Amino acid sequence: MANGMYRIGVVGATSLVGKELTDELQESLLAASDFVLLDDEEAAGRVTAAGDEVSFVQRIETSSFDKMDFVFFTGDAEVAKKHWQQARKAGASIVDLTYALEAERDVLVRSPLAAVVVPGGNSHSGAAPDLKTPAVVSGHPAAVMLALVAARLQAKLPLTHVAATVMEPASEHGPAAMDELHQQTVNLLSFHDLPKEQYDAQVSFNMLPSLGEAAKVKLKEAEQRIRSHYAGLSGGTLPPLALQLIQTPVFHSYVASVLVELAQPATVEQVEEALAGEHVDVVVAESDPPSNLSAAGQEDIMVRVNRETMDDGLSTRFWLWLAADNLKLAALNGIACALELRRLRPSGKVQ
C-alpha cells in the first residue's frame, strides 16, 4: 500500500493487552496506518487513548472488517472465535493475542522476536507463514521470554537442559483478576471476607502452584500453553522445557528463575556475552537485580546471570533471573508477527 499506510483493526481495544498494543502500534513501523478500535457491545462507545489521540471504540458489525489489512484480536477469546472468520473473508492478515485460534487448522504460533525458525515444519514447528496461513497466534509472552533467552544461549553455548519456575502476574488474566487481587489485599488488612470469584483461593500475600477448582483463572492451562508454545517456537532446536508456573501476588510483569545446563563449561562473563543483544538487557552483578517493578514499562527482557555454585571460574550450570513486562512483550511480539505477515501482502493477502 502506498506510503506504508494500512487499515488496522484492534479487536478488544479496551483490554489490557489491547491498550498496550494500541500504544505500541503508534511507535512502530505501522504508525502511519489508519487504526480502528473495535470491541463487543458492552465496551462499544468507550473513549480510549490511541497514542496521543483519543478514540471511540466501535461496536463490531458485519462490515467492520471491510478493507482491513491487519486485524489484531486481543482481550476476550470468545470474541476472537466469533469474528475471526469475518476478518479472514475480508482479506485481512490476522494476529491472535487471545490464543483462541491456536487449535485451528494451519494456524501458526509465532515469535519473530525469539527468532527460532524451522522451515518446512508443521503448525507448531515455528515454520514461517505463507499465503495459505489463515492466521497466526502471537506466542505466549512467558514462552517468548524463555525461548528467546534459550535460543540466544544455544547459538554460542549449546544447551543440554532448561528448567524454569515462572511467576504469573495478575495482569496476564485481565482487569477482573487484578481487581480481585487488590480487593483481597484490602479485605485482609481490614479483616473482611475475601472475594474468590477469579482465583477460588487466597492469592494476596500468597504464592500458589494451583488454584481452586472453581477458579476462572486457569493456571494449569496457562502452564501447558507456555510449554506448548516454547516447544513450537523452538522447532526441536532447544532442549525440552521443565516448567512450573506459580501464581504470585503481583500485578505486572513476569519474573522467572531459570536453571540452564551447558554442554561445555563457561564463565559468567561468557554467558552474559552470549545473551547480550537485541531484546535482552543483561543486568550485571553491580546493579540492582531485575524485578517485576523494574521490568514494568521496559521493552527488553532483563537477565541476571549467576553460577549454580559459589565457586569462581568455569561451570556448566547457571541460574538466570529473568524479568519482562508481560503486556508490552505480548504487544511487541504481536506487532512483529504483523510485520512478518506484511511481506506477503504485496503479492497477495493471507487467506
Parse the chain into domains and list their residue ranges: 2-138+331-347, 144-325
CA distance 326 to 25: 16
pLDDT on residue 228:
95
Burial class from Cβ neighbours inside 10 Å (0-12, 13-18, 19+) for residue 44 reads middle
Q: Are 337 and 138 contacting, i.e. CB atoms less than 8 angstroms apart?
A: yes
Query: Helix, strand or coil for residue 79?
Result: helix
Determine the angle formed by the axes of helices 141-156 and 268-275, rounding to 10 degrees: 120
The three cell numbers of residue 275 are 545473551
* Residue range 144-325 in CATH 3.30.360.10: yes
Query: pLDDT by residue (tens digit) across 95-141?
Result: 999 999 999 999 999 999 987 433 333 323 356 888 889 999 999 99
Query: pLDDT by residue (tens digit) across 183-223?
Result: 999 999 999 999 999 999 999 999 999 999 999 999 999 99
The dihedral region occupied by 313, where left means phi > 0, alpha psi between -120 and 50, and beta the remainder, is left
pLDDT on residue 41:
62
Q: Could you tell me the CA-to-CA distances from 252 to 69, 197, 221, 329 in Å, in that order?
A: 31, 20, 19, 12
Residue corresponding to grid cell 489508519? 34
Mean pLDDT of the chain: 89
Give the CATH fold of the 2-138+331-347 domain: Rossmann fold (3.40.50)
Dmax (CA) of the chain? 65
Identify the weakest region by mean pLDDT among 120-134, 147-161, 235-249.
120-134
The three cell numbers of residue 272 are 552474559
pLDDT on residue 120:
38
CA distance 110 to 218: 22
Report residue 285's pLDDT band, with 50, 70 and 90 as the boundaries: confident
CA distance 198 to 175: 11
pLDDT on residue 307:
86
